[in-house]
Amino acid sequence: IRSKARRRGVSFSFLFMWAQGDQLGKITALIESGAIRPVVDRVFPFEATNEALAYVETGRAKGKVVIKVR
């Protein structure tokens, strides 16, 4: 990712967070009530994980790319 970003003259950063139980409860309530609706671009089966990653790498996803485990 770093080399691609440099070639395109862009910068990026990753942000890692650890949510607390009460925060997750509030988010769950918002999702269940329909106040928050995540945008899902595509869903891939677990067996197609490599294809999903390749799709994300194209930069064309217009929402979340989901890998379905079960």
Asked if residues 63 and 38 have their Cβ atoms less than 8 Å apart, the reply is yes
User: What band does 6 get if pLDDT is binned at 50, 70 and 90?
Assistant: confident
pLDDT in tens, 19-56: 788 999 999 999 999 999 989 999 999 999 999 999 99
Question: Which distant-in-sequence residues (6+ apart) come within 8 Å of 55 by Cβ?
Answer: 42, 44, 61, 65
pLDDT score for 11: 82
Span 11-24, average pLDDT: 83
Domain range list for the chain: 39-70
* pTM, full prediction: 0.58
Residue 16 identity (one-letter amino acid): F
Asked if residues 42 and 62 have their Cβ atoms less than 8 Å apart, the reply is no
